[in-house]
Structure 1
Amino acid sequence: KKLYYILSEELASLGVGRDRLFDILRANKLLIKRQKSYHITTNSHHRFRKHANLIENLEVTRPEQVWVADITYLGNRKNPMYLSLVTDAYSKKIIGYHLDNTLEVSSTVEALDMAIKNRMYPDKKLIHHSDRGLQYCSNIYQDILSKHNIKCSMTESYDPYQNAIAERVNGILKQEFFMNTTHLNIKIMKKIVKQSIAIYNSKRPHWSCFFKTPNQTHQQNKMKIKSYRKKTSSKAIALDDV
Structure 2
Amino acid sequence: MGRKRVERLMREADIAGVSPRRKGFTRRDPKATLAPDLVNRDFTAPAPNRLWVTDLTMISTGEGPLWLSAIRDAFSRRMVAWETSARADADLVLTTLEYALASREVEPGKLIHHADHGCQYTSIKLTTRLMRAGVEASMGSVGDSYDNALAENLWMLIKTEGIRGRTFTTRAEANLALFEYIDGFYNSRRIQERLGFLSPIEFEEKYYAEQATAEPTNLNTRQPLLTS
TM-score in terms of structure 2 length: 0.75
The aligned counterpart of 1:208 is 194
Question: What's the CA shift for 1:201?
Answer: 0.2
167-176 vs 208-217, greater mean Cα deviation: 208-217
1:48 deviates by 1.4
1:141 aligns with 2:157: no
| Partner in structure 2 of residue 12 of structure 1 | none
2:24 is the counterpart of 1:43: no
SS of equivalent residue, structure 2 residue 25: coil
Q: Distance in 2 between matches of 1:87 and 1:81?
A: 19
Q: 1:189 to 1:158 in 2, by over 3 A?
A: closer
Residue matched to 2:213:
none
Shift of 1:188: 2.1
Deviations 1:88-119 (A, max 9, x none): 01111001111111112111111111111110
Assess if the C-alpha contact under 8 Å between 2:51 and 2:113 holds in 1.
Answer: yes
User: What is the letter of the counterpart of residue 168 of structure 2?
Assistant: H
77 and 48 in structure 1: CA distance in 2 versus 1, 3 angstrom threshold: farther
Equivalent residue letter for 2:34: K
Alignment of 1:1-242 (within 5 A): 38-39=21-22, 40-56=24-40, 59-75=44-60, 79-122=64-107, 125-156=110-141, 158-178=143-163, 181-198=166-183, 199-219=185-205, 220=207
CA deviation digits over 1:36-89, x for unaligned, max 9? 784332111432111110111755221111000000111168621110011001
CA distance in 2, matches of 1:117, 1:180: 34
d(CA) in 2 for partners of 1:124, 1:142: 15
**Aligned residues of 1:52 and 1:156 also touching (Cα < 8 A):** no
Taking every aligned residue pair, what percent have the same amino acid on both sides?
24
Give the counterpart letter for 2:179 in structure 1.
K
**1-structure distance, mates of 2:66, 2:20:** 15
SS at match of 2:120: helix
C-alpha separation between the residues in 2 aligned to 1:49 and 1:38? 23
Rg (Cα) greater in structure: 2
Q: Which residue of 2 aligns with 1:226?
A: none
Task: Return the offset for 1:217.
Answer: 1.8
**1-side partners of 2:114 and 2:165: how far apart?**
25
TM-score normalised according to structure 1 size? 0.71
Counterpart code for 2:192 = H
